[in-house]
Structure 1
């Protein structure tokens, strides 16, 4: 019979525990500029001790604004201001004609001499017209709804048309068929088909098409050029993309000259009918780091700097904390203030550490890829996260977080930091080549080929081997397809028909 007893043991072990502050630091490190700005705005709303530091608009980056402002002369007065001061007597309100007589060559009324009490008196001067003050562009939806109001009198058809307009994609296509739309909107199929037939005649031509072929057909029909050979050509756009002109000419029943005229007509069309109404401003990439060349007189090399405009500045309001802490009576209020003060101080430190880490990683990348910045992509060196981590004595995961969604402005353009990391391809002599550099070599070879000497993948393999780069044919084909370069057969057809 076993004995059951109790005893007390003491064990010692080590566990890695991530504190909330450490989790916050890691989270900040992997954020891009936009995410970081949104996060800081949220913290500013939650923490009353934080305030956003505004950059001094009067000071320049190099600190030369004060000197320039002190030495610059007063701005010169223009002719209008000088003439106004010289001719002003204070009695112009009583004698309006005296101003024109004494103001010299120019008066303020001359600019509006063509405008009467009810607007413009003629159509000769469009500079001050009311139409030129309108800056808002009409959207595609507004343009189509205006046509619906003119073309359709039935209230139900107008409602259906508005719903169909909202179904258009960014190119102006209506991808779903009449059956699916009729079932979704709960209307008879014949009514939907009749409505779509009217909508497809709207401006811009090609709107409400289901695919590219129908879009081009609608535009050709609007121009009166949609004959039977053109219909057959639109049904064989895949052959047109592969430049198989002989098969197209046989299918359309036309000679090669007529076929080329048809192709020219298609090239003049707009495959994206909604593009003329795209008024979206493309958001450019804001670099986190910028690199600039150092003059040779100062030793040469590169200067790597943080983009201060992309880094939000957060400050701890110590004076406000002192004022509020002096008036806090209860323990709960004091604990709250202390917690907010600790959170604010830690956020400021975490942002500072984030900036230093990004700068350290970027500086090491620039040093490792110096040949790329000097001579181009063919000199891009193979580089891994581990290489950078060992150089700056940080963990690989930290380098990965720093280089994700972070951009650097260089003399060769703006690149994501991840771009500079690529696998190494070891040559026969032991030298390493970056995969991106090899891709650039393949592209340069194909760009330089002539119509009577198109390089096959095997020929590219032989050319690379002559330069000491040993690649398999399937690897060359993979790189070529990754750059959207067609095969040698397709390129030969393209060059022949060019």
Structure 2
């Protein structure tokens, strides 16, 4: 019989509650963090919230909303729309614009900000804006992205390939008259009979005035709030953390000095304040490095992004890679190149950007009657000293939104 005692030593990392709080606060977006702070203030009397009465940071829109902020076990309307976009063969830039748009829908599925505002914020051309909205209008449920009820109804009609000028005039100018059954006025204005009006009305009733109906949505409209603004001042890049996005919290002195004061509540409040300060410091340090590493991007655009991975930043700051990952999770920046995600500044190999620029140039200048095959494109790239396989060319071509050789010949793109 063996009565020997075997000792097994295990190394375990035990996360304290303070560490968990710090990690959670670091990875929260501003919108999510604001919600977290407000909920904590309700249950913890030691926390006192001070809202900023005036913001010097805000852009042309007061706030932004992102479905990325909505943590739900069930799939929301925004999740469904994003999934559809990710399956489309469109350029990465166009996909980013589309995701921004659906992140700015209200609870009905309508746009929460005007098209011109989106165009200005993202620094888009009219062509790019129209391309993005044409994609949005093709998504299910049809009607999302509309600016108002009239727009919503017409989007659904066009989707059904109904392009009736009289019907559109009826929607644009006489919806209220229809509701009041003022058929004589409509008949006079549009030169149509009552029966024709009733036929149109029957068709309109098949449309949905609220595209989000039947889908899970969040009741409130929370926008993508940029964590910081990056600007060019006298040829120098500077950044400012968006402190106004998060309410300031202090210890409630009245509660602390009262007989009802609870040590645990006070300790929790102090810990949250420390974690918020740490979050601010971490974001500031990351931004300082990004301004140096991706300087050319901020001045000249996405074609000038440099190779950069999380490990590079982590090494410079003496932090773990997972800490950097949490710090940039679901966070956005307002930059001279428009509103972008933190993550978009991290790419493993900038060579792919140069290759995509060349591919776009080759395809745009090709003979439309005899477009290049993927093999030919690979050959052209090899002539520029880029050794690349045909299948990789096909992948990059699809990411740029260009169809196959046969389809390009057919559509004359």
The equivalent position to 1:316 in structure 2, one of 247, 251, 258, is 251
Higher mean alpha-carbon deviation, 34-43 vs 282-291, is at: 282-291
Instruction: Report if aligned partners of 1:422, 1:435 keep a CA contact under 8 Å in 2.
Output: no
Provide the secondary structure at the position in 2 that maps to 1:304. strand
> Per-residue deviation at 1:375?
2.6
Task: Specify the structure having the higher radius of gyration (Cα).
Answer: 1
Unaligned runs of 5+ in 2: 58-107, 110-139, 145-151, 168-205
With over 3 angstroms needed to count, the CA separation of the structure-2 counterparts of 1:377 and 1:477, relative to structure 1, is same
> Per-residue deviation at 1:14?
5.7
The equivalent position to 1:39 in structure 2, one of 29, 36, 39, is 36
> Per-residue deviation at 1:16?
2.4
> Per-residue deviation at 1:475?
0.2
> Per-residue deviation at 1:366?
2.3
Aligned to 1:484: 401
With over 3 angstroms needed to count, the CA separation of the structure-2 counterparts of 1:319 and 1:368, relative to structure 1, is same
Matched, 1:18 2:15: yes
Aligned to 1:377: 302
Instruction: Report if aligned partners of 1:304, 1:362 keep a CA contact under 8 Å in 2.
Output: yes
Instruction: Report if aligned partners of 1:454, 1:492 keep a CA contact under 8 Å in 2.
Output: yes
Instruction: Report if aligned partners of 1:383, 1:423 keep a CA contact under 8 Å in 2.
Output: yes
Query: What are the superposed Cα offsets for residues 103-154 of structure 1, whole Å, 9 maximum, x if unpaired?
Result: xxxxxxxxxxxxxxxxxxxxxxxxxxxxxxxxxxxx99xxxxxxxxxxxxxx
Aligned to 1:180: none
Aligned to 2:241: 306
Instruction: Report if aligned partners of 1:369, 1:420 keep a CA contact under 8 Å in 2.
Output: yes
Matched, 1:402 2:399: no
Instruction: Report if aligned partners of 1:422, 1:436 keep a CA contact under 8 Å in 2.
Output: no
Aligned to 1:464: 381
With over 3 angstroms needed to count, the CA separation of the structure-2 counterparts of 1:36 and 1:284, relative to structure 1, is closer
- Aligned mates of 2:411, 2:141 — CA distance in 1: 30
Provide the secondary structure at the position in 2 that maps to 1:490. helix
Query: What are the superposed Cα offsets for residues 343-373 of structure 1, whole Å, 9 maximum, x if unpaired?
Result: 1010001011011111211221221111222
Instruction: Report if aligned partners of 2:31, 2:224 keep a CA contact under 8 Å in 1.
Output: no
The equivalent position to 2:364 in structure 1, one of 434, 442, 447, is 447
Matched, 1:50 2:21: no
> Per-residue deviation at 1:474?
0.5
Aligned to 1:415: 340
> Per-residue deviation at 1:481?
1.7
- Aligned mates of 2:155, 2:32 — CA distance in 1: 39
- Aligned mates of 1:412, 1:308 — CA distance in 2: 21
With over 3 angstroms needed to count, the CA separation of the structure-2 counterparts of 1:390 and 1:491, relative to structure 1, is same
Instruction: Report if aligned partners of 1:377, 1:440 keep a CA contact under 8 Å in 2.
Output: no
- Aligned mates of 1:449, 1:363 — CA distance in 2: 42
Instruction: Report if aligned partners of 2:31, 2:225 keep a CA contact under 8 Å in 1.
Output: no
Unaligned runs of 5+ in 1: 62-138, 141-168, 174-202, 224-272, 425-432
Provide the secondary structure at the position in 1 that maps to 2:226. coil
Aligned to 1:354: 279
Provide the secondary structure at the position in 1 that maps to 2:247. coil
- Write the mapping of 1:163-242 to structure 2, written as runs, cut at 5 A: 170-171=141-142, 215-216=160-161
Aligned to 2:99: none
With over 3 angstroms needed to count, the CA separation of the structure-2 counterparts of 1:172 and 1:53, relative to structure 1, is closer
Aligned to 1:344: 269
Aligned to 2:181: none
> Per-residue deviation at 1:17?
1.5
With over 3 angstroms needed to count, the CA separation of the structure-2 counterparts of 1:459 and 1:41, relative to structure 1, is same
Instruction: Report if aligned partners of 2:49, 2:250 keep a CA contact under 8 Å in 1.
Output: yes
TM-score (norm 2): 0.59
> Per-residue deviation at 1:338?
1.1
With over 3 angstroms needed to count, the CA separation of the structure-2 counterparts of 1:317 and 1:282, relative to structure 1, is closer
Matched, 1:389 2:314: yes
With over 3 angstroms needed to count, the CA separation of the structure-2 counterparts of 1:434 and 1:383, relative to structure 1, is farther
Query: What are the superposed Cα offsets for residues 315-355 of structure 1, whole Å, 9 maximum, x if unpaired?
Result: 11234412x0xxx2xxxx56xx1111111010001011011
- Aligned mates of 1:285, 1:315 — CA distance in 2: 26
> Per-residue deviation at 1:278?
6.5
> Per-residue deviation at 1:206?
9.9
- Aligned mates of 1:25, 1:380 — CA distance in 2: 31
Provide the secondary structure at the position in 2 that maps to 1:290. strand
- Aligned mates of 1:401, 1:3 — CA distance in 2: 50
- Aligned mates of 1:439, 1:283 — CA distance in 2: 35
Aligned to 2:231: 292
- Write the mapping of 1:82-93 to structure 2, written as runs, cut at 5 A: none
Instruction: Report if aligned partners of 1:30, 1:402 keep a CA contact under 8 Å in 2.
Output: yes
- Aligned mates of 2:7, 2:254 — CA distance in 1: 49
With over 3 angstroms needed to count, the CA separation of the structure-2 counterparts of 1:467 and 1:274, relative to structure 1, is farther
> Per-residue deviation at 1:49?
1.3
Query: Superposition RMSD on alpha carbons, in Å?
Result: 3.9
